[in-house]
């Protein structure tokens, strides 16, 4: 990779205050939501890695530091709302809780997703029994919960063994549900580790399922990339490096990792050189953008969308010749995104397709291929 080619600061208006995430709070009013925040539960046996996941992704703890974490002995609630775009409450449940006998109504009634963490380096048979118990209890309380199984600590497994372990856990847990008469419940599986980007990618996928505007965001990104000669675009929450949306082309891990590294780099450089006199003014602002040219003839291009969101694009160097078109399309994209949130804030019916279509129609992008 060549060095950072350009860290540029451009003029431009910030979004109005009401596009801040505060208003996003009010729009969710479904049963899975409490105080406007979707509740996500982290469950699993002792030492499976639940607290480590939360600390590494949301509190920027380095993976090695998790070695010194003490066991959790009561449910820890973490608001992931004020510090980033993501509006949810993460409940870290202690592994030592009595899974046979706990207040399922209280825990699952207002829950959007259960993440069940299984230590793939350990014997997981007992964990599968607990998974079955948790899933069936949760489903009886709330049929809308999404079940996500993290086959965790896979950094300790050989490549072949990873897929084999996931396949085995998938097979056994589905068989258990079938035996219990719950064959209609869908479990999603993710291979994860805190020592690489897999945990960020898995959490991105979990969280995307809980964002009602996801299809609209994906459509907007499709329109943007098709008209700008961009190959791949991610909408990042810069605080957590979770991508809240991407275009509909498949995600390859390498591209995602490159984009994550770029977000880190921009935040670090902004923190060092971009601070205003007042420490309260965030360094990552409407003037932040960055361009990295790789030796492979590929360009990484980052633009600030608002103080918590960044668009990161991957494109061929040749297609970057018309940077003006790309910048213009980006502004249209940003405006459309703003409209999506404004319309949703006004309407009570979250997720109604009509309102979102209106924003897409207003997206007056310019086609980069047109010459």
Ligand X SMILES: Nc1nc2c(ncn2[C@@H]2O[C@H](COP(=O)(O)OP(=O)(O)OP(=O)(O)O)[C@@H](O)[C@H]2O)c(=O)[nH]1
CA dihedral (158, 159, 164, 170) positive or negative:
positive
Rounded Cα gap, residues 170 and 151, in angstroms: 10
CA distance 284 to 276: 11
Q: State which of residues 32, 52, 173, 246 lies at the interface with ligand X (CB under 6 A).
A: 52
Task: Give me the least distance between CB of 134 and ligand X, in Å please.
Answer: 14
Q: Provide DSSP, 332-344.
A: HHHHHHHHHHHHH
> Which residue in 368, 291, 297, 293 sits closest to 332, CA to CA?
368
Taking the complex as a whole, how short is the minimal distance between the CB of residue 45 and ligand X, in angstroms? 7
Nearest distance from C-beta of residue 251 to ligand X, angstroms: 20
**316-331 burial by CB neighbour count: b if 16+ within 10 A, else e?**
eeebbebeebbebbbe
Q: Is 71 in the site for ligand X (CB under 6 A)?
A: yes
Among 8, 22, 35, 46, binds ligand X (CB under 6 A): 46
Restricting to residues 163-192, which ones interact with ligand X according to CB under 6 A? none
Looking at the Cβ atoms of 93 and 315, the one nearer to ligand X is 93
Comparing CB distances to ligand X, the nearer of 153 and 232 is 153
Question: Which of helix, strand or coil describes residue 220?
Answer: helix
Binding range to ligand X, per CB under 6 A, among 49-57, 177-185, 209-217, 312-320: 49-57
State the nearest-atom distance from the C-beta of 70 to ligand X, in Å.
7
Q: Of 153 and 322, which has the nearer Cβ to ligand X? A: 153
Q: Is 71 exposed, middle or buried (0-12, 13-18, 19+ CB in 10 A)?
A: exposed
Establish if 16 lies at the interface with ligand X (CB under 6 A): no
- Give the x-and-dash track for 188-227 against ligand X (CB under 6 A): -----xxx--------------------------------
- Is residue 66 at the binding interface for ligand X, with CB under 6 A as the rule? yes
CA distance 334 to 165: 42
Task: Using the rule CB under 6 A, give the single segment among 23-31, 40-48, 219-227, 344-352 that binds ligand X.
Answer: 40-48
Q: Binding string, 83-102, against ligand X, x = CB under 6 A?
A: -----------xx-------
47 is an interface residue for ligand X by CB under 6 A? yes
366: burial class by Cβ within 10 Å (0-12, 13-18, 19+)?
middle
Q: How many amino acids of this chain bind ligand X (CB under 6 A)? A: 22
Name the residue whose CB lies closest to ligand X: 95
Which SS3 state, helix, strand or coil, does residue 325 take? helix
- Give the 3-state secondary structure percentages of the chain, helix then strand then coil, rounded to 5: 45, 20, 35
Long-range contacts of 28-35 (CB under 8 A, 24+ apart): 28/87, 28/212, 28/350, 29/348, 29/350, 30/144, 30/350, 31/109, 31/110, 31/142, 31/144, 32/110, 32/111, 32/112, 32/142, 32/144, 32/145, 32/210, 33/110, 33/112, 34/89, 34/110, 35/89
Only one of the segments 48-56, 103-111, 178-186, 288-296 lies at the binding site for ligand X (rule: CB under 6 A); that segment is 48-56
- Among 3, 62, 67, 280, the residue binding ligand X under the rule CB under 6 A is 67
Q: In angstroms, give the least distance from the CB of 344 to ligand X.
A: 35
Residues 139-158 interacting with ligand X (rule: CB under 6 A): 152-153, 155-156
Provide, rounded to whole angstroms, the least separation between the CB of residue 272 and ligand X: 29
Residues that bind ligand X (CB under 6 A): 44, 46-52, 66-67, 69, 71-72, 94-95, 152-153, 155-156, 193-195
């Amino acid at each position: 990779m060549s060095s950072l080619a350009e860290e540029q600061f451009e003029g431009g208006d910030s979004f109005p205050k009401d596009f801040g995430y505060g208003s996003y709070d009010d729009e969710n009013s479904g049963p899975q939501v409490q105080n406007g925040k979707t509740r996500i539960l982290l469950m699993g046996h002792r030492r499976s890695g639940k607290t480590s996941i939360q600390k590494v992704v949301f509190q920027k703890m380095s993976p090695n530091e998790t070695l010194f974490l003490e066991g959790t002995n009561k449910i820890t609630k973490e608001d992931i709302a004020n510090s980033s775009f993501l509006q949810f409450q993460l409940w870290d449940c202690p592994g030592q809780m009595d899974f046979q006998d706990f207040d399922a109504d209280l825990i699952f009634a207002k829950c959007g997703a259960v993440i069940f963490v299984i230590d793939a380096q350990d014997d997981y048979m007992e964990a599968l029994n607990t998974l079955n118990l948790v899933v069936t209890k949760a489903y009886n309380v709330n049929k809308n919960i999404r079940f996500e199984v993290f086959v965790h600590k896979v950094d300790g497994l050989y490549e072949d063994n990873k897929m084999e372990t996931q396949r085995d856990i998938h097979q056994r847990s589905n068989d258990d549900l079938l035996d219990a008469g719950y064959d209609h419940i869908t479990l999603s599986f993710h291979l994860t580790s805190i020592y690489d980007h897999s945990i960020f990618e898995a959490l991105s996928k979990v969280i995307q399922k809980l964002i009602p505007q996801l299809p609209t965001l994906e459509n907007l990104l499709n329109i943007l990339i098709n008209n700008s000669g961009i190959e791949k675009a991610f909408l990042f929450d810069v605080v957590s490096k979770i991508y809240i949306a991407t275009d509909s082309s498949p995600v390859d891990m390498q591209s995602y990792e490159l984009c994550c590294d770029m977000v880190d780099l921009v935040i670090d450089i902004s923190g060092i050189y971009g601070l205003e006199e007042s420490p309260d003014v965030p360094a990552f602002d409407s003037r932040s953008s960055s361009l990295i040219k790789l030796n492979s003839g590929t360009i990484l291009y980052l633009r600030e969308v608002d103080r918590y969101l960044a668009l990161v694009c991957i494109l061929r160097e040749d297609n970057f010749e018309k940077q003006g078109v790309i910048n213009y399309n980006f502004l249209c994209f940003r405006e459309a995104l703003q409209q999506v949130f404004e319309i949703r804030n006004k309407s009570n019916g979250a997720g109604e397709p009509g309102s979102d279509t209106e924003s897409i129609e207003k997206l007056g992008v310019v086609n980069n291929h047109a010459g």
